[in-house]
Amino acid sequence: MPAPHPVRDGILAVTIGGVLALALLLGVRLSQGTLAPGDPTIGATPVGPQASARDSCDRQAGGGGGPSEPDPVPGPEFPRQEHDLDNGRPVTVTAQGNAEVAYHRLSEFATVVEFRCADCQGKLDVFNTGAAVPIVSGETNGEPVTIEWLIDTVHEVAAGPNNSLLIRATGNWTLTLKSWHDLSTTTDRVEGHGARVLRVDAPKVRLTFAPLNSRDSLNVYAYRIADREFRANDCIGRFESSELDLNGGEVLLLWSLGEWTIEPLG
């Protein structure tokens, strides 16, 4: 099972009016603008042809746009800072402009990424060098951006305990990195939207989803803490509820454009 990839899987993290919107990319880089619920475009750049709601769970159905831009690479453009990261020892960096945030994990865990920017303008990238994939990539026009993501899972263990994130931004931003062991465990129903990382104590969950438009989908990946192994996943592309057997998974990465509800089941 490949690692969750927010651009390959059709995800751009931008926030419109304080609400996290994950715009479908399908291989194209989007220009700035406002995401309209019934028209999955940003600015004048369409996001592939319209497809049925069910097709939103099949990323091959959408078609692509123009060539993507080259991935960012460490260098003088990204002033480097280094940190140690451990259970109970999160790292929070507040800065302005470009940076490389490098870290060394002192024990075995996957890393929860929380990125926030209240006033970023223009090009915005948060790039995970360990997996060579972007977490955020696109254009912003000053709207707040908020995203959570999960990295350093079994998909990236070859990178070892060292990793770094490249941030290209114009604006003031805050990046927090923490061990997934520091996530509080929920046994209650959780409602949300956008990209979240949750830790649950249940063998199964019930997922309920209300898509924002016909290209929206709820994607869920479940991982087991003991070995960082991927255990289960689901994709819902229409108004519906479904049960997901976590197969021993405890930490969930969820993302969507619309509203979702997750309910642990005994």
CATH number, domain 185-265, options 1.10.3470, 2.60.290, 3.30.1490, 2.60.40: 2.60.290
Exposed/middle/buried for 211, CB within 10 Å: 0-12, 13-18, 19+? buried
pLDDT at 37 over 80: no
pLDDT class of 156 with cuts at 50, 70, 90: low
Q: Is the pTM of this model over 0.85?
A: no
Q: Which of 255, 242, 92, 261 is nearest to 189 (CA)?
A: 261
Q: Which of 99, 151, 152 is nearest to 124 (CA)?
A: 99
Domain parsing of the chain, residue ranges: 185-265
Kindly state the DSSP code that residue 158 receives in the 8-state scheme.
G
Query: What percentage of the chain exceeds 90 in pLDDT?
Result: 55
Average pLDDT, the chain: 78
Query: What percentage of the chain exceeds 70 in pLDDT?
Result: 73
pLDDT at 50 over 70: no
Count CB neighbours of 27 within 10 A. 17
b/e code 132-142 from CB counts within 10 Å (16+ = b): ebbbbbbbbee
Which is more confidently placed, 207 or 41? 207
Over the stretch 69-105, which tens digit does the pLDDT of each residue have?
788 889 999 999 999 999 999 999 999 999 999 999 9
Residues 14 and 138: beta-carbon distance below 8 Å: yes
Amino acid identity, position 97: G
pLDDT at 262 over 70: yes
Pairing of strands 99-105, 80-85: parallel
**CA distances from residue 225 to 229, 230, 231 in whole angstroms, order as listed:** 7, 9, 10
Q: Which residue has the tokens 């994709």?
A: 235
